[in-house]
Amino acid sequence: MADQSTENNLPLSGIRVVEFTHMVMGPTCGMVLADLGAEVIKVEPMGGDNTRKLLGSGAGFFPLFNRNKKSIALDLQQPQGREVALRLVATADVVSENFKPGTMKKLGLDNASLCKLNERLIYVSHKGFLPGPYDHRTALDEVVQMMGGLAYMTGRPGDPLRAGTSVNDIMGGMFGAIGAMAALMQRAHTGRGQEVQSALFENNVFLVAQHMMQFAVTGKPAAPMPGRISAWAVYDVFTVKDGEQIFLAAVSDTQWKLFCEAFGFADLYADPRLKTNNDRVQARDWMMPILRSRLADRSAADLSAVFEKNGLPFAPITPPEDLFDDPHLRETGGLAPLTLPDGRATQVPLLPLTLGGERPGVRLQPPKLGEHGGELLAELGYDPAQIEALRSAKVTVTS
């Protein structure tokens, strides 16, 4: 089972985060901090975070990236709404935002304004680009994948293709969280906060850095992954019995020996042209058709069993929806119960780490819009009549 303990047992217990975020990048930062025990307060517009209403590939954004958070709805265009926000920020250790450059400054909620009020505040800014020639541009995950080499590497030659998930948004949010935690540690020594900046484009460049360095080392441009020269001889998807597919690998000379012994390929193991991994890489044009032919009548389950018995790398080709039934995830607490905004029960993947042998779990379900507004306003010193006045003036929503 996932860890359902209170925040007191988690490393960021006692840290308050106020986030002005939407979509994926900023909410991911808050989710990481929240899962690790921080009290994360999500400031939403009066109509709610737009991801509450997305369809298709965005339908899962809100419940995934906003668990373990509290929600308060504020109209930041009204002075009363900004006053509430400033009171809230005054209680915070961390502020996180991912709006377009200039938006927070117009609201008086930018780092320069807030750090004057609280020198201990850590301000995490998630943007498309770090400051520089591109910082005025509007960026999306797909934009930076295209301009930053990832789509080029993922697609077939001449057919750039974005990665199959929001890699830069999610990792950009993770780096924002890492920066926030580093700044918290430094504040413990200096007593002062600082601004942390994370960006989609720079995150994407970090992801493709291995290909940049491949060019630096070899002098040869990296080929797109589907057309690349593999570093390993056997490292491919095989189509086998009944049209099933499975990924099989043998990436060292030891694994090649085990592979040949397991399947009775003594002739291939004895072939001097296939002696080392580099030899086999050079021989892939004629070696791989032989392997594909010899394995074609074996079932994926049969191949999996042989590879697992011999400690060889393998993987079934699994669509995401099947992971809800993955035995490893189910038995190790990698999935936790979650209630969707419409009340249906499901499960959600947790952070891919353990703390003291426990997976940080779900303490708070994805919040309803303004679900915690009343209690937060009361904590900030607003009495019931003032809260009702804010509600009547459509400055806030409370549920």
Give tens-digit pLDDT for 129-177.
999 999 999 999 999 999 999 999 999 999 999 999 999 999 999 999 9
Indicate if 306 and 339 belong to the same structural domain: no
215: in domain: no
Q: Biggest alpha carbon distance in the chain?
A: 87
Domain that holds residue 235: 230-319
Give pLDDT, residue 399: 72
49: in domain: yes
259: in domain: yes
Indicate if 12 and 129 belong to the same structural domain: yes
Indicate if 44 and 148 belong to the same structural domain: yes
Report which secondary-structure segment, H or E, holds 209. Answer: helix 209-218
154: in domain: yes
- Per-residue pLDDT of 111-131, as tens digits, reads 999 999 999 999 999 999 999
141: in domain: yes
47: in domain: yes
Q: Between 49 and 229, where is the model more confident?
A: 49
216: in domain: no
CATH number at residue 52: 3.40.50.10540
Give the residue from 139, 20, 157 showing the smallest Cα distance to 82: 20
Q: For residue 35, indicate whether it is catalytic.
A: no
Indicate if 315 and 332 belong to the same structural domain: no
Give the residue from 65, 94, 72, 54 showing the smallest Cα distance to 174: 65
**Which of 285, 302, 319 is where one domain is finished?**
319
Indicate if 304 and 350 belong to the same structural domain: no
Indicate if 83 and 198 belong to the same structural domain: yes
d(C-alpha 186, C-alpha 180), whole Å:
10
Indicate if 236 and 199 belong to the same structural domain: no
Catalytic pick among 35, 75, 141, 169? 169
Taking residues 353-378, report their average pLDDT: 96
**Which of 279, 302, 319 is where one domain is finished?**
319
d(C-alpha 27, C-alpha 29), whole Å:
5
d(C-alpha 358, C-alpha 1), whole Å:
9
Q: What Rg, from alpha-carbon coordinates, does the chain have?
A: 26
**Which of 295, 319, 343 is where one domain is finished?**
319
For the chain, what percent of residues have pLDDT higher than 90?
A: 92
d(C-alpha 394, C-alpha 68), whole Å:
26
Indicate if 339 and 309 belong to the same structural domain: no
Indicate if 311 and 374 belong to the same structural domain: no
Taking residues 68-74, report their average pLDDT: 98
Number of Cβ within a 10 Å radius of residue 306: 18
Report which secondary-structure segment, H or E, holds 170. Answer: helix 167-190
Indicate if 306 and 372 belong to the same structural domain: no
The lowest-confidence range among 30-34, 222-226, 286-290 is 222-226
Indicate if 21 and 137 belong to the same structural domain: yes
CATH number at residue 236: 3.30.1540.10
225: in domain: no
Indicate if 144 and 277 belong to the same structural domain: no
Taking residues 318-333, report their average pLDDT: 95
What is the count of structural domains for the chain?
A: 2
